[in-house]
Amino acid sequence: MAYNTRPALLPDRPLRVALVGAGHWHAPYYAEALRKSGSELVGLTDADPATAARRGQELQIKTYDGAATVIEETRPDLIYAFAPHRDMTALVQELLDLGAPFVIEKPTGLDWRPLAAAAAKARELGAWAGVDLVARTHQLVARLRALGESGALGRVHNFFYRLFAGDPQRYVAWGVPWMLEPERAGAGCLYNFGPHVVDAFQWLTREPVIEVRCHLRHLHGLKIADYAHLTCLTPSGAVGNLEVGYICPGDFYERGLTLASDRLYVSSPNLDAGTLRWRDGRSEEVSAGDSGGDFWLAYVRDVERRLRAGEPPIATLDDMARTLRVLNAAEESARSGRPVRLE
C-alpha cells in the first residue's frame, strides 16, 4: 500500500483517526479525548468480531474487518492501536507493513529484542510510530524535562514514583480477562504500569538504567503479580524507587512523584500539579495546564500537534524498547532474587 508514513503538512481539517484493537479498555478513553480535541473517528476494528461490534455500538463508530481494511477504506491520518501485551509487537510489524502513521499502547510486547528490531525497521522506513508513554505529557514531568535539557535541573540524586490502582478483577469486568493471564499480559502490573514509571525515570534523568532489582507480590492470589517494587540505578548514580500495583480497594487510584537533585526538590500528588523547591530558597508551583489534568486529552493533543508539525512522537518504539528491556531485567531479578545488570 502506498501510504505516507512520514506525513508532511496535513490538510486543514479535523484529524481522521481509526482505532485498531478497540476492545482494549483504554480505547473508550482515547475516543472521548479525540472527540474533545476535534478529531473525527472514522472506524474501528478488533481481532474479535463480537467485541468490535459491541465497541462500535458503544462508541458510535463504524466497524471494519481488520487493520488493513479500516486503513484501505477510511484512509485515516492516524491509527491508535491496542492489543493484548503478547501480541503488540506483531501488531507493530503489521502496521509498519501497512504504512499508516500510528501510536500504540504500552508495553508494546513482552520481549524487548523483537521490539527493538521493529523499532529499527520503523527508523529505516521513516515511519511515524509512537508509543503512549503518557507520563511525558503531564505538566510537571514536561517542566522537569525542560529543566533537565537546559541544565537547570542539576544532577538527580533520587526519584520516587508510585502508581497504584484497584483490584485486578476489574479487567474481567472491562471485557479484557487476558489481563489476568501471564502468558498474554506478562507479569501483571509490572508490564502494565511499569512502563510509565521506568520511562519517566529514564526520561527525566536522561540516562539509561544500568542495574535493576525487583520484588513482585501477589496480594489477590492470582497468577499475575499485583505489586512490583523496582530499584533502578543510572550511570551517574541516580536511584529510582518505583512502585506499581493493583493494591487499592475498589476503584481507588493513587499516583505520586518526588525528585531530589543538587539544585531542587520536587513533590507532586498527580504528575500534573506540584511544587519545585530550589535549594537557593526559590519555589515554583506547576499547575495542570489547559487540559485540567485530563492526561488523555493532553496526550492526544500532543500527538496531533507533533503529527501536523512533522515532528517525531514524544515517545518512540526505541524509547519503549529501552524501557521494556528494563522490565524484562526486573522480572529476571524477581525470579532470581538478585539485582540484574544491563550491559
| Structural domain containing residue 140 | 135-292+316-341
pLDDT digits 0-9 by tens, 14-25:
999 999 999 999
Q: In this structure, are 128 and 196 located in the same domain? A: no
Would you say residue 72 lies in a domain? Answer: yes
> Pairing mode, if any, of strands 40-45 and 129-131?
unpaired
Same domain as 154, residue 71? no
- 142 and 247 fall within a common domain: yes
171-190 pLDDT per residue, tens: 999 999 999 999 999 999 99
Same domain as 44, residue 83:
yes
108 & 257 share domain: no
Mark which of 99, 133, 167 sits at the end of a domain: 133
List of E strands, 37-190: 40-45, 78-81, 102-104, 129-131, 156-165
Residues 127 and 228 in one domain: no
Statement: residue 204 has pLDDT above 90:
yes
Q: Is 143 a residue whose pLDDT tops 90?
A: yes
Q: Indicate whether 202 and 177 sit together in one domain.
A: yes
Please indicate, yes or no, whether residues 235 and 154 belong to a single structural domain of this protein.
Answer: yes
What is the pLDDT confidence band of residue 277, given thresholds at 50, 70 and 90? Answer: very high
Pick from 277, 303, 272: nearest CA to 288: 272
Tell me if 74 sits within 8 A of 64, measured CB to CB: yes
Domain boundary among 133, 168, 187: 133
- Give DSSP secondary structure letters for 61-72: --B-SSHHHHHH
List the one residue out of 26, 24, 331, 320 whose CA is nearest residue 190: 331
Q: Tell me, what CATH number does 145's domain have? A: 3.30.360.10
Round to the nearest angstrom and report the end-to-end CA distance of the chain: 39
Specify if 129 maps to a domain.
yes
Q: Average pLDDT, stretch 297-318?
A: 96
In degrees and rounded to multiples of 5, residue 220 shows phi and psi of: -95, 5
Q: Do 126 and 35 share a domain, yes or no?
A: yes
**One domain, residues 275 and 287:** yes
Q: What is the CATH number of the domain that holds 105?
A: 3.40.50.720
Instruction: Report yes or no on 255 lying in a domain.
Output: yes
User: In 10 A of CB 279, how many CB atoms?
Assistant: 12
| pTM of the predicted model as reported, rounded to 2 decimal places | 0.95
Q: In this structure, is residue 198 part of a structural domain?
A: yes
Average pLDDT rounded to a whole number, residues 196-212: 98
Question: Residues 151, 109: one domain?
Answer: no
